[in-house]
Amino acid sequence: MIKIKPTYLAALLAVSSAGLNAAELNVEIQNLTHGLYFTPIAVVAHTPESSLFEVGEVASTELQMMAEGGSLDGISTIATSVSADVLANPAAGLLAPSAKASGTLSTAADNTVLSVVAMALPTNDGFIGLDNWPIPTEAGTYTIYLNAYDAGTEANDELRGGGAPGVPGMPVPPPLEGLVGTNGSGVAGADTNTSVHIHRGNIGDESMTEGSSDVSNTVHRWLNPVAKVTVTVN
């Protein structure tokens, strides 16, 4: 379900008399990681009262679908329900390490904040996220750096799997075959935080055929930030 949040002062300022006009945005997303891929990206302009995710709160079913399997279907449902403007899948598939993708987004007058989400691979339920960034009313180019979040919906066992919501395991699409191992026993340690939170990062190991993790400890680890978003307001 979509979450409704209070209107903060920053959002009120963004919806000043000067900001009641539709905006034309060019949005570029760059993958800053060494070895992670991003699933199809959703860039969503919407009203300040709506939110795709909330740090510190339980993830919605729609966010879970995206964070565990990379599906944008639920995010699209949320966007439609709040009359949001959406730039979907600008990379036309996975966004590789260091790669960039961009597109144009025309926003309605009421849609004055911007959110961005995409699953990070290989992870169990990790995703990149921008939450309700007020779209500037002045023309110019603006840069935002994004963290990787954990949706809190699946244990980080770091084992390959199908990626369906509620089913353990990480999806491993073709670009990651050969980079993700097999036969791991599962990373030890309980995941007790079931709300959306900053991702602890992959632990990984050195083996492609055994060990605790199917993730490489030299390829798939990261530090925040993981993505760069450049927004040009025309």
* Interior angle at CA 137, CA 132 and CA 142, nearest 5: 65
Q: Which residue from 177, 74, 163, 174 is spatially nearest to 124, judged by alpha carbons? A: 163
Is residue 179 a contact partner of residue 35, using CB atoms and an 8 Å limit? yes
* pLDDT for position 12: 37
- The domain ranges of the chain are 3-151
- The per-residue pLDDT for range 29-52, each reduced to its tens digit, is 999 999 999 999 999 999 999 999
* pLDDT for position 129: 98
**Residues in the chain with pLDDT values less than 50:** 1-19
pTM of the predicted structure, to 2 decimals: 0.90
* pLDDT for position 21: 64
Which is the CATH superfamily of the domain at 3-151? F-spondin domain (2.60.40.2130)
* pLDDT for position 191: 79
Judge if the upstream peptide bond of residue 225 is cis by omega within 30 degrees of 0. Answer: yes
